[in-house]
Amino acid sequence: MDSVIFTVIRRMRFPLMALTIVYSIAVLGFTLIPAQDASGNPARMGFFDAFYFVSYTATTIGFGELPYPFTPAQRLWTIVCIYATVIVWIYSIGTLISLAQDAGFNRAVTRRRFRKRVRELTRPFYLVCGYGETGTALTRALIHRNRMAVVIDVDPQRISALKMENYQLFVPALCADAGVPTILREAGLKHDRCIGVVAVTDDNEINLKISITAKLLHKDITVYARSDSSDVEKNMESFETDNVVDPYETFALHLAIALEMPCQFLIHRWLSGLNIEKLEEPVYPPATGLWVICGFGRFGKAIYSRLKVEGVGVIVIEATPDRTGEPAEGCIKGRGTEAETLKDARIESAVALVAGTSDDTNNLSIVMTAKELNSRLFVVLRQNELVNQDIVDAVHADIVMHPSAIIANRIRVMMMVPLLREFIVLAKMQDNAWACELASRISALVGDEAPDVWEVCLKCSGLPGDRTDPVAVIRALTDKQTVRLGHLMYDPHKRHDKLRCLTLLLKSEHGSTFLPKPETALSVGDRILFCGSSAARDDMEWTLQNENILRYSMTGKSRSPQRIWKVLAHALGVRH
């Protein structure tokens, strides 16, 4: 049974006892004290009358002296009873009220309510552990796409921030340590609707523990975890954590792609960026010349090794090389915030600067000093905290690396559009010219708004990325009609207009087709990746869900009327 009910009962035990004893003494007194009836004959009050009288006196209702006017002896006893019973009542009610204000009790009540709400979830949901910058961005993205989420965070301020957020859907949230398996279970880890666990707390160890717990308690669940160190990452992968994200590695890899193939990088950013961003211009990091890296922490190391692979000359500046280690050819000791150190690193002749320490103020200072010395520098800036957004924007770095945003983006892509990863892998095999052409096609479709990427799944409910199934298309396919890819891309209002979108990938049981042609016939079980404007996405939803519109798209004929209208039309002699 519940600890809440037990706490109430336990705390009320003594007040209830006191009530019982005082009541019984009062009742007993009235039955013992001699009374008089209406005509003055001696009488005794029965237990029933006595209990009736004490009941209304104790609760200060006071109906008067019943059944007959009282004798002085009875009145004396009444006085005693009034004070005794009323005090006991106040005491009992006071105990209840103090219980309601008790912090421990309130925590138990909140937890119970949380458990109940999680238990009652009927739609698939994700369990988000950690509501920091990453967790917030992910929860927002999930709710935006009409998916449910349950949130745990150890910091009460973050939980109250979530409550202030006013999401469209109700997000059950609990302030507790996600590293404790019981808490995870209460948050619905073993719930059959729980489709994924996202471990994005600030603490690597806790993320690791969440991943282990999730894998042990719910075998089929997908786990997305953040890891800032390769040790933890390897550890997580050893027990098959599905998706481990290391923000520094991820970014370094992107940078390496940008060095070689700017358009590839551009496409990658456009497709996996959040919808709110504007379409950006491509960046061209210099692939030849000297790079200066300030800070040889996890971020600096990741970039350093990537740049080495690309064959770029690198000079590292690090304030505490004895703690962080240093590259094979040594490093320049210093913080990089002062001109001397930067000059030692030959900043005047360098082509690019990476401000990669874990302190935003230092990073900004490095960038400003370096730009004074060499204004043509290509600047890569690491942003550690979201609150510094304004000043980070003000220095106009060429690339800003924000770990939380990178993790949030990657996990969001993996959850919502799993096909996109596959597409990106295939795209990487193409050359830069191909990527530039694709980029110009996309920008022709969407103008300067950021492209939306979505996945259409022909009957694969239960997959983490699915939307509601496209019922109309599935029905048409099971009726042995031929639905072609192009049919889905007509404007549902005017068939001769095409929606502003293009198909990136088609995955069927025969394999994946890269950039499939509109004539491709679809079959049940196919998954299609689209890219285009948000309006096109909403319009396509019509075609996918509504049979009449699908028929219009396929045949060009306007929707055929329902049976009842046919009968009515016939009866009225109306002709179509």
Partner 1 sequence: MNPNKVFFGFFIVLALTLNFGFVVGEIDRPEHHHVYEFFAVIVVNVIATILKLGDRTQMGAVLLATSLVAVLQLLAGAVVWWAAIYVSDIGMTPTVTASIVSLASGAVLANVVSVVLLIVETVTVRR
Residue range at the interface with partner 1 (CB under 8 A); choices 18-26, 146-154, 202-210, 547-555 = 18-26
Instruction: For the CB of residue 94, give the shortest distance to partner 1 in the complex, in Å.
Output: 18
Q: Which of 26, 27, 267, 414 binds partner 1 (CB under 8 A)?
A: 27
Q: Which of 4, 12, 180, 287 binds partner 1 (CB under 8 A)?
A: 12
Q: Which is nearer to partner 1, 52 or 167 (CB)?
A: 52
**297 touches 277 (CB < 8 A):** no
**332 touches 316 (CB < 8 A):** yes
Q: Judged by CB under 8 A, does residue 98 bind partner 1?
A: no
Q: Judged by CB under 8 A, does residue 34 bind partner 1?
A: no
Scanning 261-351, the segments in alpha helix (DSSP H) are 262-272, 298-310, 321-324, 339-344
Q: What angle do CA 274, 279, 282 make, to 5 degrees?
A: 115
Q: Which of 4, 31, 422, 560 binds partner 1 (CB under 8 A)?
A: 31
Instruction: For the CB of residue 83, give the shortest distance to partner 1 in the complex, in Å.
Output: 20
**34 touches 71 (CB < 8 A):** yes
Phi-psi sector, 117: left (phi>0), alpha (psi -120 to 50), beta: alpha
- Enumerate the β-bridge partners of residue 355: 294, 381
Q: Which is nearer to partner 1, 67 or 330 (CB)?
A: 67
Q: Which is nearer to partner 1, 28 or 93 (CB)?
A: 28
Q: Which is nearer to partner 1, 51 or 542 (CB)?
A: 51
Q: Which of 4, 26, 28, 450 binds partner 1 (CB under 8 A)?
A: 28
Phi-psi sector, 116: left (phi>0), alpha (psi -120 to 50), beta: alpha
CA-to-CA separations, 231 to 205, 209, 298, in angstroms, rounded: 11, 14, 12
Q: Which is nearer to partner 1, 5 or 309 (CB)?
A: 5
Q: In three state form, how does the secondary structure of 42-106 look?
A: EEECCHHHHHHHHHHHHCCCCCCCCCCCCCHHHHHHHHHHHHHHHHHHHHHHHHHHHHHHCHHHH
Q: Which is nearer to partner 1, 17 or 368 (CB)?
A: 17
Run of H or E residues at 333: strand 332-333
Instruction: For the CB of residue 7, give the shortest distance to partner 1 in the complex, in Å.
Output: 8
Of residues 368-407, those binding partner 1 (CB under 8 A): none
Q: Judged by CB under 8 A, does residue 104 bind partner 1?
A: no
Q: Which is nearer to partner 1, 1 or 328 (CB)?
A: 1
Question: What is the Cα gyration radius of the chain?
Answer: 35
Q: Which is nearer to partner 1, 45 or 127 (CB)?
A: 45
Instruction: For the CB of residue 68, give the shortest distance to partner 1 in the complex, in Å.
Output: 15
Of residues 38-77, those binding partner 1 (CB under 8 A): 46-48
Which residue's structure tokens are 């891309």? 489
| C-alpha–C-alpha distance, residues 564 and 546, integer Å | 19
Identity at 148, one-letter amino acid code: M
Q: Which of 17, 93, 524, 569 binds partner 1 (CB under 8 A)?
A: 17
Q: Judged by CB under 8 A, does residue 239 bind partner 1?
A: no
Q: Which is nearer to partner 1, 10 or 113 (CB)?
A: 10
Question: Site for partner 1 (CB under 8 A): how many residues?
Answer: 17
Contact residues toward partner 1 (CB under 8 A) are 1, 6, 9-10, 12-13, 16-17, 20-21, 24, 27-28, 31, 46-48
